[in-house]
Amino acid sequence: MSQNVDKIKDHFQLFQEPEYQEMFERKREFEGGPSKEEIERVKEWTKTWEYREKNFAREALTINPAKACQPLGAIFAAAGFEGTLPFVHGSQGCVAYFRSHLTRNYKEPFQAVSSSMTEDAAVFGGLKNMTDGLANSYSLYKPKMIALCTTCMAEVIGDDLGSFITTSKNQGAVPEDFPVPFAHTPSFVGSHITGYDNMLKGILVALTPGKKKGVTNGKINFIPGFDPYIGNIRDLKDILSVMDVPSTILADNAESFDSPNLGEFKMYNGGTTLEEGADSINAKATISFQKYSTPKTLEYLEQEGGQTTLTYRPIGIRGTDEFLMGLSELTGKAIPEELE
Ligand code: SF4
């Protein structure tokens, strides 16, 4: 054997050994693979201008479309609210994927729970899973709000979140007045940005009823959207502080995905309080930074809050200038020299 326990060879070295080379040769013959000369010829061709032009001429191919499913966006939005536990009604494997996906991107632990539906729930419906899940989550993790969304499984069988939540409350899983906003997030429609929008709207629908006042609170709501770079929220806060603009960020998940390393685990880092979420209906205007992540939320704030809604893309010098000038015009606040 080329490999032995006393001297373990790295695979680069190992595969150069005669027995491996012989095996590769037999494999090539068995599979009818191209000759060494042909492999060399193609290898050289991939370095040519012709090959480059062929690649740039592609039209019908999308490489890495960066598209994930709705519940991923929904739990991302929910994580921006104070004391909020994202709860996904559906199969556990999906939620494991969401948690690991967010953790890998932001390098932060992320917690979301699942009603862990299995075969029986797929046949008979997931009400019992949800009732038990809500009761367990409420007593174990002591959240201030549980934000519910769904996976494909719950959507395919048609579980009705609104009636399930009412039934669960009637059965004492959580107190009657405990906020459980929800959003149906079927993954065969839209993508993670659709889920973000649905959940944010769902949270506002749960928090804002009865909170509308006759006058505005003078604040501006800002919706960052599904932003994979959390530093943007911190920059936004700096700008708002320098310009002295009263604001509410919907939803502020900067600390959820970039929490300070204090040596102790803190379960909830969402920065938007439930009171701020409720009062957002009284804002003077709402600015979204992602048009396609927020259409339903903006429509809700326009219709129920009577607000002006705007979309800016402060990317690059031109985009940032447009945003700052628009913000200055909206609020009457001057743009300070340090931002010019
Ligand atoms: S597409 Fe559906 S099944 Fe797949 S991870 Fe998303 S919710 Fe789960």
pLDDT at 56: 87
pLDDT at 255: 92
Q: Which atom of ligand 1 is nearest to the CA of 151?
A: 7
pLDDT at 340: 67
The strand order across the sheet containing 308-311 reads 247-249, 220-223, 285-288, 308-311
**pLDDT more than 70, % of the chain:** 98
Q: What value does the mean pLDDT take over residues 120-126?
A: 90
94 has catalytic annotation? no
pLDDT at 339: 72
Closest protein CA for atom 3 of ligand 1: 152
Q: Start-end ranges of CATH 3.40.50.1980 in the chain?
A: 70-207, 220-339
- The secondary structure element, H or E, covering residue 86 is strand 84-89
Contact 84, 268 (CB under 8 A): yes
CATH superfamily of 220-339: Nitrogenase molybdenum iron protein domain (3.40.50.1980)
Confidence of residue 2 (pLDDT cuts 50, 70, 90): confident
Does 149 have pLDDT greater than 70?
yes
Confidence of residue 29 (pLDDT cuts 50, 70, 90): confident
Closest protein CA for atom 8 of ligand 1: 94
Return the structure tokens found at 102. Answer: 């967010």
Q: Considering Cα of 227, then 229, then 233, then 238, what sign does the dihedral take?
A: negative
Separation of alpha carbons 57 and 195, rounded Å: 34
HEC string for 161-211:
HHHHHHHHHHCCCCCCCCCCCECCCCCCCCCHHHHHHHHHHHHHHHHCCCC
> Nearest-5° angle of CA 186, CA 172, CA 212?
65
152 has catalytic annotation? yes
pLDDT at 62: 67
Contact 113, 91 (CB under 8 A): no
Separation of alpha carbons 69 and 62, rounded Å: 17
Does 59 have pLDDT greater than 70?
yes
CATH code reported for the domain at 70-207: 3.40.50.1980
pLDDT at 248: 97
Confidence of residue 137 (pLDDT cuts 50, 70, 90): very high
Q: Which region among 59-63, 79-83, 182-186 has the lowest average model confidence (pLDDT)?
A: 59-63
What's the pLDDT tens digit per position in 279-333? 999 999 999 999 999 999 999 999 999 999 999 999 999 999 999 999 999 999 9
Residue 151 CA to ligand 1 center (angstroms) comes to 6
Residue scoring higher pLDDT (32 or 273): 273
pLDDT at 146: 98
Residue 94 CB less than 6 A away from ligand 1: yes
Q: Which region among 59-63, 194-198, 276-280 has the lowest average model confidence (pLDDT)?
A: 59-63
What's the pLDDT tens digit per position in 209-254? 999 998 999 999 999 999 988 889 999 999 999 999 999 999 999 9
Instruction: Report, in this order, helix, strand and coil percent for the chain, each rounded to 5.
Output: 50, 10, 40
pLDDT at 36: 87
pLDDT at 204: 98
pLDDT at 8: 84
Ligand 1 pocket: which of 152, 155, 157, 192 to mutate (most atoms <8 Å of CB)? 152
The mean predicted confidence, pLDDT, of the chain is 92
